[in-house]
Amino acid sequence: MEVAVVKKEVKAEPMSEKKKDRITNIFVFAFLSFGAIFMVAPLLWMFSTSLKSKEDVFALPPVWIPKDISFSKYLEIWDMGPLLSGIGNSLIVALSVTIIGTLTSSLAAFAFAKLKFNGKNKIFIMLFASVMIPYPVLMIPQFIMFSSIGWVDSLLPLIVPGLFGNLFMIFFLRQYLNSVPNSIIEAAKIDGCSYFQIFYKIIFPLIKPAVAAQLILWFMGIWNDYLGPILYLNSPEKQTLQLVIANFNASYAIQSDYPLIMAASVVALLPMLIVFIIFQKQIIESIAISGVKG
């Protein structure tokens, strides 16, 4: 009896429910747009400030689109600080670490996922336990180690540890490789492939999409890093981009040259923004997976 009543209600309702759904969707859209404005407004403000004259910055009420749009600050910044060498240094660190580190990480992931060896479980857990150690605990002794071999004020302390691989990447790629059937590898072995050949002919092409997404995320992490560089780099021409713009901020805020500071910050932010917009699908998917697997 009750079941019949419920069914009748469900059948009688679809039209009005659809309408209700549409109205809800309009509200939801408005809510999301409102939120999106809050998310993007500060960044737009940053860009707008960078196009203003020094005086326009202090206009009340604020001007979002300056009367005289001027890109002159984007020319000026290159002479006002070591911005170009900052970009170069950031590129050197990020590229060398991600390219070599990705190779070492994917080789290790291959071994952990597909090869048999004694102590596999123990070694993996041991490696993974080290991600629990926060950087602040390691930074002091690491600094002393690097300074004793004279590497302070060089890019080496930022590059060398990364060349040995990234544990998150190993973990993620190992997970990904678990879905690759062992029989492919067995077949390759029978055909006389060496382990290196198996890796670069079979495994690497298979995990390429996962590798790409992880590499981009890692690259972004290094590009945006601040604590590592601030510990090691003193000379202005050795500094990475993030430090250079922080120094722009410290030196030019006194002169209230905000357009200059904002232009430099936009330059620091733009490369990753472009990378993100191009690879947004892969990046977002990769993040979502890592969260669900947690």
Partner 1 sequence: MKATSKLYRTEQRYAYLFIAAPVLGFLIFAMVPLIYSMYGAFTNWNGLGQMEFIGFENFINLFKDEYFYKSMYNTFFMMLGIPIGIVLALLLALALNRGIFGTNTFRVLYYIPVISSIAAVSILWQWAYNGDYGLVNQFLDLIGIEGPNWLQNTATVKPALIIMAVWKGLGYTMLLYLAALQSVPKTFYEAAKLDGANAFQAFWHITLPMVKPVTFFIIVTNIIGGAQIFTEINVMTPTGGPEYSSASVVFYIWQKAFGNFQLGYASAMALVLGLFIFIITLIQFKMNEKSSFDLD
Contacts of 222 (CB under 8 A, 6+ apart): 90, 93, 94, 97, 98, 158, 162
- Minimum CB separation of residue 24 from partner 1 in Å reads 8
- Side chain identity, residue 224: N
Q: Which residue has the tokens 């302390």?
A: 157
Q: Is 96 in the site for partner 1 (CB under 8 A)?
A: no
Among the listed residues 104, 154, 251, 282, the single contact to partner 1 using CB under 8 A: 104
Amino acid, res. 40: V
Tell me which of 69, 75, 163, 278 binds partner 1, using CB under 8 A: 163
77 contacts partner 1 (rule: CB under 8 A) = no
Q: Which residues ranging from 229 to 258 are in contact with partner 1 (CB under 8 A)? A: 230-231, 242-243, 245-246, 248-250, 253, 258
Helices (H) and strands (E) in the chain, counts: 14, 0
* 205 vs 277 by CB, closer to partner 1: 277
Q: Which stretch binds partner 1 (CB under 8 A): 57-65, 75-83, 91-99, 204-212?
A: 57-65
3-class DSSP assignment, residue 178: coil
Q: What share of the chain is helix, strand, coil (3-state, %, to 5)?
A: 80, 0, 20
Of residues 131, 136, 101, 144, the one with CA closest to residue 232: 144
**Region binding partner 1 by CB under 8 A among candidate stretches 73-81, 91-99, 191-199, 206-214:** 191-199
Tokens of 125: 């857990």
Q: How far is the CB of 110 from partner 1 (least distance, A)?
A: 6
Q: Is 111 in the site for partner 1 (CB under 8 A)?
A: yes
Cβ–Cβ < 8 Å for 165, 104: yes
- What sign for the dihedral angle of Cα 213, 214, 218, 224? positive
| Binding status of residue 11 toward partner 1 by CB under 8 A | no
Among 127, 156, 180, 184, binds partner 1 (CB under 8 A): 127
Query: Which one among 8, 24, 72, 95 touches partner 1, defined by CB under 8 A?
Result: 24
Q: Considering only residues 155, 159, 170, 210, which one is a binding residue for partner 1 as defined by CB under 8 A?
A: 170
Q: List the Cα angle 175/179/181 in 5-degree steps.
A: 130
Task: Work out which of 142, 154, 251, 282 binds partner 1, going by CB under 8 A.
Answer: 142
Report d(CA 261, CA 279) in Å as an integer.
28
Taking the least distance from each CB to partner 1, the nearer of 75 and 288 is 288
Among 4, 15, 65, 132, binds partner 1 (CB under 8 A): 132
Segment interacting with partner 1 (CB under 8 A) among 68-76, 77-85, 204-212, 282-290: 282-290
Among 92, 156, 167, 193, binds partner 1 (CB under 8 A): 167
> Least distance from C-beta 140 to partner 1, angstroms?
5
- The Cα–Cα gap between 215 and 222 comes to 11
Q: Give the separation between CA 190 and CA 175, rounded to whole angstroms.
A: 25
